[in-house]
A and B are shown apart, each in its own frame.
Chain A
Amino acid sequence: MLSIAAIVFWSTFPLETYLPAAIVTARQVDHLFRFMAATGSALWIFVAGYLVYFAIAFRVKPDDPPDAIGLQVHDNHKLEFWWTVIPTLFVVLLSIVSVRIWYEVMLEPQNGLVVEAIGHQFYFSFRYPQINGEVTDEMHLPVNVPVTLNLTAADVIHGFWVPAMRLKNDTVPGLVTTIKFTPRLVGRYHIICTQFCGVLHSEMDKQYLVIDQKPVFDRWFKSWQEKNAHVSNALPAAGGGAIALQGGNAPAGKALFAQKCTACHKLAPFNQTLVGPGLANVLHDPAHPNLVNGQPATPQNVAVILQNGYTGSMGTMPNATANGLSSQDIANLVAFLASLK
């Protein structure tokens, strides 16, 4: 009886009234939670009910002889068979339910608005295509527009969690992880760090994800575009001045790439790391607009890295002297990378 009551209670439990469901898949996760809470608590009440009943019913009575013994049953194969088979069937059911919801969470629409969140000690910063530099206070998203959120970290591992999204992922230095979702409910939601990241980890719960109507979002977006208009996206070049990239020869760059670069880089998507990231379409990759030390992968910035080498969240790369690259070689390599689409 109590088990059935638990099933009814949990299968109708309105988690959304306590914690809003900010994205589409949050409601799927709530369904899964209700399913597990209902079956789990019913099972527990069933077991605990029998436990308490047996514990009371079969206690030693005052008039029992001191050497009274219980029922000498060793096993009951029928019973054991069923309590192996029924949990197994339940495991199959639970697997099916979980995998289905997992698909919905993982296979959110592709090609959404690309945003990047970077974990720092002790805040998150955000990058948007067409906004220079970083957005440092809140993360704004338009409602009902699919989002691809790339996560990485500048120093140590952080956890990016929005409870209202029922979704989190770690931001790992040297690694880009992606979550995809579609906001569905306008509001302000806490962003909380869930991996211990240093002494002020507890303070890393003060930022908000703000989901706005599209016009409001556009106004916010524009204000940051203007605010950051003068922030440069370029990496500082050694010795100052831009590197000349005219006269780059793509076929020569291709030969050079095979000779000098393939030990560490694959010609594959950006997140297929060998030692460094994959460079298949690094200059044309809409999914990873800002991932070279948080700067956009422009030809000039790539040339600067080839010239100066690199130390940062993606690892370490030697500079041009160590790699034996002339400035013509750099121009050739950039021309080759630019030719890949």
Chain B
Amino acid sequence: MAVAALPAGGIADHIHPEPQGFVRRYVFSLDHKIIGIQYIVTAFVFFMLSGLLAEAIRTQLYNANGGFIAPDTYNEVYSVHGSAMVWLVIIPLLTGGFGNLVFPLQIGARDVAFPWLNMLSFWIFPVSGLMLFSSFLLGAPTAGWMEYPPVSLQGAAGTSMWCAAIFLVGVSSTMTGINFVVTILKMRAPGMTFTRMPLFVWGQFATAPLLMIATTALAAALAALFIERQFGVPFYDPTKGGSPVMWQHMFWFYSHPAVYIMILPGFGIISEVLPTFARKPVFGYKLIAFSSMAIALAGFMVWAHHMFTSGLAPFLQLPFMIITFVIGVPTGIKIFSWTATLFGGKIHYTTAMLFAIGFIGLFTIGGITGVWLAAIPFDLHVHGTYFVVGHLHYVLVGGSLMAVFSGMYYWFPKMSGRLLNEKLGHLHFWLFFVGFNGTFIPMHWLGVLGMPREVATYDPQFEFWNRFETISSYLMAISILIFFVNVIWSIRNGKRSGPNPWGARTLEWQIPSPPNYYNFKHIPTVYGLPYDFSQPLPYKGLDDELNDTPPVMAGAH
């Protein structure tokens, strides 16, 4: 009988042995934790490369007449910088990286629902990354990360390579999205109802449908662009009956939800770090969870706010403006809730907490300027200027990247069993904070006063602030260097962390660091929210996790 073949604890204790051999364990691994770390390492390699491109951009703009690199090289550099940072760094870090690493542990699962699909998702990602960077050999794309046709139809051969690379990384995202939705819906531990899920899981749960649905629109648009470039089938060329504005609709139908793909998991990280280090329940749990879902849903209805200057019928623009304003409400609720979480706390200033508090302050700036940009009359002035560049970096660097760093300092012990050095961490934070603001704050007034984006040279009246930005950006680069040194040094020499160095209460901290291959010896039962510091832990069945009792293995079958 099939039932008799199960171990005593039923399906919940069904553990397969860990594969032996380096390749199956660390290269083509099926383990969500290893895949998560693979994502994080790969994404940070791409982060370093596109960070170097960013410094090339800033060095070029130190002088009003440029002179560091030729204009066409400059156009290649900023296009690849933008594409790589979005598709190869922030999205993989927050979904494939921290998503894989953390949320299956937090819901008490042994792995994601489809481990083979997970492995495939990961291995597509470095391949597409290499394709994107190798487009430099063919003449990289030059029309920015948006690649509006018809000008992208004139781009060098590398533009087709760009299409293929982004298409592939989109396939990888879609598969990750499917995997995460199914895992969260079907594989939560007994008792982990939706209203007991940690907020990081809520963040991933709001993000995964966006990955699944929105990315397909981008894939269609990219396939059409590729076919038009290679085989001349006119989708976008107006002289042959195509429509260039169609690309913009398809692109932004993906890329606006993509903004939320890049921030909702970050919201999740912040919502874990704040209660842990304030020793307080997160304020307004339900409102934070529901506002993530509201943001994800409304995110599909605002794409045309990127297109107010593209020649849309004027009355079609109004609903997009107003829905965008409305998104400010759930976002504001989150910010107020996080601030209130600090009230009456016992705040421990770890580096993770510094980045989390910094995130609230800086992301709020990006959120507020986002509301300004949605107001059509103001957008008609600053669209396509450095104001937009400043806004975007406040959301993606001051928001998403700060959340990534916060998550790195927080979960590094779970990955390696060792702590990152806190002194270097504090230095990293403060240098980054100062450098970041110095780099991106002046962009706002440069944009309002008339500096367009995507330019290799500019009006000399803006030179002073551009020099200020360039010098600040070097400060940021130094802080990133310190971070890398810290990580590499701490992997071997960091202080041993033990299972739960932070006194955190979510499930992943109740098992050893790094966790065993099978995560849990017995699947725990969940009795409540993880954030009640005055109560005993709301889990049962974890007694054996930290002692030497061997797990019950499934028989061969």
Interface set of A (CB-CB < 8 Å, partner B): 15, 18-19, 25, 28-29, 32-33, 36-37, 40-41, 43-44, 47-48, 50-51, 54-55, 58-60, 64, 67-76, 79-80, 83-84, 87-88, 91, 94-95, 98-99, 101-102, 105-106, 155-157, 159, 161, 163, 166-170, 172-175, 177, 190, 192-203, 205, 275, 311-316
Query: Min CB distance, B416 to chain A, in Å?
Result: 24
Q: List 9 A-B contacts (CB under 8 A).
A: A36-B375, A36-B378, A51-B342, A55-B347, A73-B344, A91-B325, A156-B151, A156-B154, A170-B309
CB neighbours (8 Å) of A75 from chain B are 283-287
Interface set of B (CB-CB < 8 Å, partner A): 66, 71-72, 75, 142-144, 148-151, 154, 238-241, 243-245, 278-281, 283-287, 309-311, 314, 318, 321-322, 325-326, 328-329, 332-333, 335-337, 339-340, 342-349, 357, 360-361, 364-365, 368-369, 371-372, 375-378, 380-381, 383-385, 448-450, 452-459, 503, 532-534
Judge whether A202 and B339 touch: CB under 8 Å. Answer: no
Judge whether B457 and A202 touch: CB under 8 Å. Answer: yes
Provide the bound-state CA to CA distance between A72 and B302, in Å.
38
Judge whether A168 and B381 touch: CB under 8 Å. Answer: yes
Q: Which of A29, A197, A202, A314 has the most CB of B within 10 A?
A: A202
Query: Min CB distance, B357 to chain A, in Å?
Result: 6
CB neighbours (8 Å) of B383 from chain A are 159, 168, 194
Query: Min CB distance, B304 to chain A, in Å?
Result: 13
Judge whether B368 and A170 touch: CB under 8 Å. Answer: no
Identify A156's interface contact among B150, B325, B503, CB under 8 A.
B150
Judge whether A29 and B381 touch: CB under 8 Å. Answer: yes
Judge whether B280 and A50 touch: CB under 8 Å. Answer: no
Provide the bound-state CA to CA distance between A50 and B244, in Å.
47
Closest B residue, CB atoms, query A92 = B325
A to B contact number (C-beta, < 8 Å): 261
Identify A51's interface contact among B241, B280, B337, B361, CB under 8 A.
B361
Judge whether B287 and A87 touch: CB under 8 Å. Answer: no
Judge whether A73 and B283 touch: CB under 8 Å. Answer: yes
Q: A36-B371, A55-B357, A70-B345 are in contact. Are A197 and B329 (CB under 8 A)?
A: no
CB neighbours (8 Å) of A98 from chain B are 321, 325, 375-378
Closest A residue, CB atoms, query B282 = A74
Query: Min CB distance, A170 to chain B, in Å?
Result: 5
Judge whether B448 and A60 touch: CB under 8 Å. Answer: no
Query: Min CB distance, A195 to chain B, in Å?
Result: 6
CB neighbours (8 Å) of B314 from chain A are 106
Query: Min CB distance, A276 to chain B, in Å?
Result: 9
Judge whether A47 and B376 touch: CB under 8 Å. Answer: no
Closest A residue, CB atoms, query B144 = A196
CB neighbours (8 Å) of B75 from chain A are 196, 199, 201
Judge whether A87 and B372 touch: CB under 8 Å. Answer: no
Closest B residue, CB atoms, query A164 = B450
Query: Min CB distance, A316 to chain B, in Å?
Result: 6
Judge whether A51 and B339 touch: CB under 8 Å. Answer: yes
Judge whether B376 and A202 touch: CB under 8 Å. Answer: no
Query: Min CB distance, B173 to chain A, in Å?
Result: 25
Identify A201's interface contact among B150, B455, B503, CB under 8 A.
B455
Q: Which of B337, B372, B377 has the most CB of A within 10 A?
A: B377
Judge whether A157 and B378 touch: CB under 8 Å. Answer: no
CB neighbours (8 Å) of A169 from chain B are 309, 311, 380
Q: A106-B314, A173-B239, A177-B311 are in contact. Are A199 and B142 (CB under 8 A)?
A: yes
Query: Min CB distance, A266 to chain B, in Å?
Result: 16
CB neighbours (8 Å) of B371 from chain A are 36, 40, 94
Q: A79-B340, A88-B329, A194-B452 are in contact. Are A44 and B365 (CB under 8 A)?
A: yes
Query: Min CB distance, B283 to chain A, in Å?
Result: 6
Provide the bound-state CA to CA distance between A199 and B79, in Å.
12
CB neighbours (8 Å) of A43 from chain B are 368
Identify B452's interface contact among A59, A106, A205, CB under 8 A.
A205
Judge whether B449 and A18 touch: CB under 8 Å. Answer: yes
Query: Min CB distance, A24 to chain B, in Å?
Result: 13
| 4 A-B pairs with the lowest CB-CB distances in the bound complex, closest first | A174-B238, A71-B344, A194-B384, A163-B450
Judge whether A168 and B361 touch: CB under 8 Å. Answer: no
CB neighbours (8 Å) of B458 from chain A are 202, 205
Judge whether A105 and B240 touch: CB under 8 Å. Answer: no
Judge whether B244 and A157 touch: CB under 8 Å. Answer: yes
Judge whether A70 and B533 touch: CB under 8 Å. Answer: yes
Provide the bound-state CA to CA distance between A54 and B342, in Å.
6
Judge whether A170 and B311 touch: CB under 8 Å. Answer: yes
Q: A40-B372, A199-B142 are in contact. Are A74 and B243 (CB under 8 A)?
A: no
Judge whether A91 and B328 touch: CB under 8 Å. Answer: yes
Query: Min CB distance, A290 to chain B, in Å?
Result: 18
Provide the bound-state CA to CA distance between A19 and B445, in Å.
11
Identify A80's interface contact among B333, B349, B364, B455, CB under 8 A.
B333
Provide the bound-state CA to CA distance between A159 and B344, in Å.
51
Q: A71-B344, A75-B287, A172-B245 are in contact. Are A194 and B328 (CB under 8 A)?
A: no
Judge whether B377 and A105 touch: CB under 8 Å. Answer: yes
Judge whether A167 and B380 touch: CB under 8 Å. Answer: yes
Judge whether B452 and A55 touch: CB under 8 Å. Answer: no
Q: A172-B244, A198-B151 are in contact. Are A94 and B452 (CB under 8 A)?
A: no
Identify B325's interface contact among A71, A94, A155, CB under 8 A.
A94
Query: Min CB distance, B533 to chain A, in Å?
Result: 4
CB neighbours (8 Å) of B241 from chain A are 275, 315-316
Q: A58-B345, A159-B309 are in contact. Are A195 and B148 (CB under 8 A)?
A: yes
Judge whether A172 and B310 touch: CB under 8 Å. Answer: yes
Provide the bound-state CA to CA distance between A54 and B459, in Å.
43
Query: Min CB distance, B243 to chain A, in Å?
Result: 7
CB neighbours (8 Å) of B286 from chain A are 75
Closest B residue, CB atoms, query A156 = B151
Provide the bound-state CA to CA distance between A314 and B239, in Å.
6
Query: Min CB distance, A123 to chain B, in Å?
Result: 15
Closest A residue, CB atoms, query B529 = A74
CB neighbours (8 Å) of A54 from chain B are 339, 342-343, 345, 347
Identify B148's interface contact among A99, A157, A192, A315, CB under 8 A.
A157
Identify A71's interface contact among B144, B280, B348, B449, CB under 8 A.
B280
Judge whether A95 and B325 touch: CB under 8 Å. Answer: yes
Provide the bound-state CA to CA distance between A73 and B284, in Å.
9
Judge whether B240 and A315 touch: CB under 8 Å. Answer: yes
Judge whether A72 and B311 touch: CB under 8 Å. Answer: no
Provide the bound-state CA to CA distance between A313 and B349, in Å.
61
Provide the bound-state CA to CA distance between A194 and B311, in Å.
14
Judge whether B452 and A193 touch: CB under 8 Å. Answer: yes
Provide the bound-state CA to CA distance between A98 and B314, in Å.
14
CB neighbours (8 Å) of B459 from chain A are 190, 205
Judge whether B318 and A72 touch: CB under 8 Å. Answer: no
Provide the bound-state CA to CA distance between A156 and B144, in Å.
14
CB neighbours (8 Å) of A173 from chain B are 150, 238-239, 244
Query: Min CB distance, B335 to chain A, in Å?
Result: 6
Closest A residue, CB atoms, query B345 = A70
Judge whether A91 and B278 touch: CB under 8 Å. Answer: no
Provide the bound-state CA to CA distance between A87 and B314, in Å.
26
CB neighbours (8 Å) of B245 from chain A are 172, 175
Provide the bound-state CA to CA distance between A197 and B284, in Å.
48
Provide the bound-state CA to CA distance between A28 and B377, in Å.
9
Closest A residue, CB atoms, query B354 = A55
Judge whether A196 and B328 touch: CB under 8 Å. Answer: no
Q: Which of B328, B335, B378 has the most CB of A within 10 A?
A: B378
Query: Min CB distance, A189 to chain B, in Å?
Result: 9
